[in-house]
């Protein structure tokens, strides 16, 4: 069994963002490297009902379709015990996270998956929390894993 990784929706959307900025280009390349590693069976990508809900709100029909397709073809849909998930999500919200970010982290924690996000605020907040998983941005993940 490969190690599990969990990319939040802002990370999955990074290739669709304006590539004018160097940071966005670097994160897009990192996301592509991560997907290449998934294709090589180095990691198992997991996704949750939170992904489905957030992606359904994307206004660009092509982007929305492609994200659904990538998740269904590449990832594994996972579920958690709802009572335990709600309890943990409430703890994370009380610690300062938004409900969607807390829900994403609950799923990642439940499966022991590295949590990858392009959201600086969320990365910083995760660093102050008592999480049982690694959290960081796509570039940091590639550095940590030696993906080139």
Cα 16 to Cα 91: distance, rounded to the nearest angstrom: 32
Closest-CA residue to 12 (of 57, 66, 49): 66
How confident is the model at residue 2, as a pLDDT? 79
Measured CA to CA in angstroms, residue 103 lies from 28, 45, 78, 133 at distances of 24, 17, 13, 14
- What is the separation of C-alpha 137 from the centre of its chain, rounded to a whole number of angstroms? 9
Cα 7 to Cα 11: distance, rounded to the nearest angstrom: 6
Structure confidence by residue, pLDDT tens digits, 85-131: 999 999 999 999 999 999 999 999 999 999 999 999 999 999 999 99
DSSP 76: E
Rg of the chain over CA atoms, in angstroms? 15
Structure confidence by residue, pLDDT tens digits, 3-38: 999 999 999 999 999 999 999 999 999 999 999 999
- What is the separation of C-alpha 7 from the centre of its chain, rounded to a whole number of angstroms? 2
Domains of the chain: 3-145 (3.40.50.1010)
Output the pTM of the full model.
0.96
Cα 92 to Cα 122: distance, rounded to the nearest angstrom: 12
Pairing of strands 135-136, 114-116: parallel
Measured CA to CA in angstroms, residue 148 lies from 5, 11, 25, 33, 34 at distances of 17, 18, 15, 7, 9
For residue 98, give every residue at least 6 positions away whose Cβ sits within 8 Å of its Cβ, in sequence order, or none.
none
Structure confidence by residue, pLDDT tens digits, 32-88: 999 999 999 999 999 999 999 999 999 999 999 999 999 999 999 999 999 999 999
How confident is the model at residue 1, as a pLDDT? 53
């Amino acid at each position: 069994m490969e190690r599990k990784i969990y990319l939040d929706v802002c990370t999955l959307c990074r290739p669709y963002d304006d590539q004018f900025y160097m940071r966005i280009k670097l994160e897009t390349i990192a996301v592509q490297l991560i997907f290449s590693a998934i294709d090589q069976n180095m990691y198992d990508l997991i996704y949750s009902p939170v992904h489905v809900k957030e992606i359904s709100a994307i206004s660009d029909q092509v982007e929305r379709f492609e994200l659904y397709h990538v998740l269904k073809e590449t990832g594994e849909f996972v579920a958690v015990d709802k009572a335990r998930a709600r309890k943990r999500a409430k703890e994370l919200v009380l610690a300062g996270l938004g409900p969607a970010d807390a829900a994403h982290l609950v799923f990642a924690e439940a499966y022991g998956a590295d949590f990858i996000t392009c959201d600086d605020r969320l990365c910083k907040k995760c660093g102050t929390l008592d999480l049982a998983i690694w959290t960081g941005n796509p570039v940091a993940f590639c550095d940590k894993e030696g993906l080139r």
